[in-house]
Amino acid sequence: MNAQAQLPTAFDVQRIRADFPLLARSVHGKPLVYFDNANTSQKPHSVIEAVDQHYRLHNANVSRAVHLLGEEATAAYEGARDKLAAFLNAGSRNEIVLTSGTTQAINLVAYSYALPQLQPGDAIVTTVMDHHANIVPWQIVAARSGATVKPAPIDERGELIVEEYLKLLTPEVKLACVGHVSNVLGTVNPVRELARECRKRGIPLLVDGSQAVPHRPVDMQALGCDFYAITGHKMLAPTGTGVLWARKELLQAMPPFFGGGEMIREVRFSGTTFAEPPHRFEAGTPNIAGFAGVSAAIDYYASVGFEAIHAWEQQLLAYATERLREIPGLRIFGEAREKEPVISFLIDGAQATDLATLLDLQGVAVRSGHHCAHPLMQFYGVPATLRASLAFYNTREEIDAFITALLKVRKLLL
Classified as helix, coil or strand, 217 is: coil
Is residue 198 annotated as a catalytic residue, yes or no? no
Rounded to 5 degrees, φ, ψ at 59 are: -65, 115
Structural contact between residues 233 and 41, judged by C-beta atoms closer than 8 angstroms = yes
Please tell me which residue in 177, 198, 225, 372 is annotated as part of the active site. Answer: 372
What H or E segment, with its residue span, contains residue 410? Answer: helix 396-413
Classified as helix, coil or strand, 311 is: helix
Q: Which amino acid is at 283?
A: A
Measured N-to-C along each axis, helices 306-324 and 288-304 cross at an angle, to the nearest 10 degrees, of: 80
Exposure b/e, 321-354, CB count within 10 A at least 16 = b: bebbeeeeebeebbebeebbbbbbbbbeebebee
Question: Dihedral angle at the C-alpha atoms of 134, 232, 307, 44, nearest 10 degrees?
Answer: -150
Q: How many whole angstroms separate alpha carbon 277 and alpha carbon 281?
A: 7
Q: Which amino acid is at 345?
A: F
Peptide bond into 278 cis (omega under 30): yes
Classified as helix, coil or strand, 13 is: helix
Structural contact between residues 330 and 346, judged by C-beta atoms closer than 8 angstroms = yes
Residue 209: partners with Cβ closer than 8 Å, 6 or more residues away: 102, 180, 181, 218, 228, 229, 230
DSSP state letters, 205-267: EEEE-TTTTTTS---HHHH--SEEEEEGGGTTSPSS-EEEEE-HHHHHHPPPSS-STTSEEEE
C-alpha 287: how far from chain center:
18
Q: Which amino acid is at 142?
A: A
Q: Which amino acid is at 341?
A: P
Q: Which residues are catalytic?
A: 372
